[in-house]
Structure 1
Amino acid sequence: MKTTARDVLLFVPNLIGYGRIILALVAFYVIKTDYVLASSCYLLSGLLDAFDGHAARLLNQGTKFGAMLDQLTDRAATACLLVTLASFYPDYAFWFQMSLALDIVSHWMHLHVSLIGGVSHKSIGLEGNPIMRLYYTSRPVLFVMCSGNELFFAMLYLLNFTEGPKVEMFDVGLARLVMYISAPIMIVKAAISLIHLVDASTRLAAIDAEERSKAK
């Protein structure tokens, strides 16, 4: 049976992706007025990111559209949260701006190179970069990196409103404790984004060089 564009748009992983977008929209609509609903919707949207990939593999419904939808949803959601954090913590606005710029530029370059090469963005750089290979071939590592990064920024958001229930063992609020624990993961994730950017830039330059050599 022939697969149509409508079929692709209605693949299960893409339906999950649309749900993620709706949750993100709700989160950012109430982000300054209802931190419980906002954080719940934001974290649930991020959690569903793992399920759409699982559904794509299980149902053999991986598509270029789905990969693009997933990437754009991730980047847009993180960008919106960072914009909010910059308004909550103006003294640290520069660092939120740098984090936002690195996140968007590195992933855009990486995905662009993967589309030019006709392979998954999760396959680019695996043969020559051990960090990228570990990051994309170990699902536990990928989950910890992505979830830890999101938790750090989500906890910063919550701390603008509440410390959360106190953890007596550490004499600190739960939100602050999770922020401290996830901070190193956020830093490592930023370093991986930088590697993304350098690796993809090098590969794109190599594609340019090869095309120019063929033209001659």
Structure 2
Amino acid sequence: MYSSLTSGATSHKNISESSNFILRAYYSNNNVLFAFCFANELFFVVLYLSSFGFTGSVRMVLWVLAVLTGPICTGKQIINCIQFANASKSLAQVDIEERKHSKKN
């Protein structure tokens, strides 16, 4: 979010057509965005609940939820890494431009 604001964007969710196709797909549909965020958080809640050693049907429900939300959580973490890489590049570009400007003055 910080890198978006330093580059003049009004929101970190405004993705240009030239940006990564995964991020464009992620931010272009609010339902997809919600599903990824919800499944990501649910996966971690399920992992936490699994630590209590439930047995029987509760354990089975937790296992099924983990299997269903795990791949989505993995996808969300990949998206996070892509966002981190893009933000790093953006901040580096802003820094380079500021240094060029300060050397001219």
Same-fold status (TM-score > 0.5): yes
Task: Tell me the CA shift for residue 206 of structure 1.
Answer: 1.0
Task: Tell me the CA shift for residue 193 of structure 1.
Answer: 0.6
Q: 2:40 aligns with which of 149, 162, 176?
A: 149
Partner residue of 2:94? 207
In the alignment, residue 183 of structure 1 is paired with which amino acid?
A: G
In the alignment, residue 188 of structure 1 is paired with which amino acid?
A: G
Name the count of aligned residue pairs: 102
Name structure 2 gaps, 5 residues minimum.
none
Name structure 1 gaps, 5 residues minimum.
1-110
Scaled by the length of structure 2, what TM-score is found? 0.83
Q: Deviations over 1:99-141 (max 9, x none)?
A: xxxxxxxxxxxx1112213320111555321111111111121
Q: Do 1:148 and 1:182's aligned partners in 2 also have CA atoms closer than 8 Å?
A: yes
Higher relative contact order by CA 8 Å / sep ≥ 6: 1 or 2? 2
Structure 1 stretches of 4+ moved >6 Å: none
Q: Helix, strand or coil: the match of 1:166?
A: helix
**Superposition map of 1:97-136 within 5 A:** 111-118=1-8, 119-124=10-15, 127-136=18-27
Q: Do 2:7 and 2:90's aligned partners in 1 also have CA atoms closer than 8 Å?
A: no
Partner residue of 2:83? 196
Among all aligned residue pairs of Structure 1 and Structure 2, give the percentage whose two residues are the same amino acid.
Answer: 39
Scaled by the length of structure 1, what TM-score is found? 0.43
Matches of 2:74 and 2:3 in 1, distance apart? 25
Moved more, 142-151 or 115-124: 115-124
The Cα RMSD (Å) is 2.1
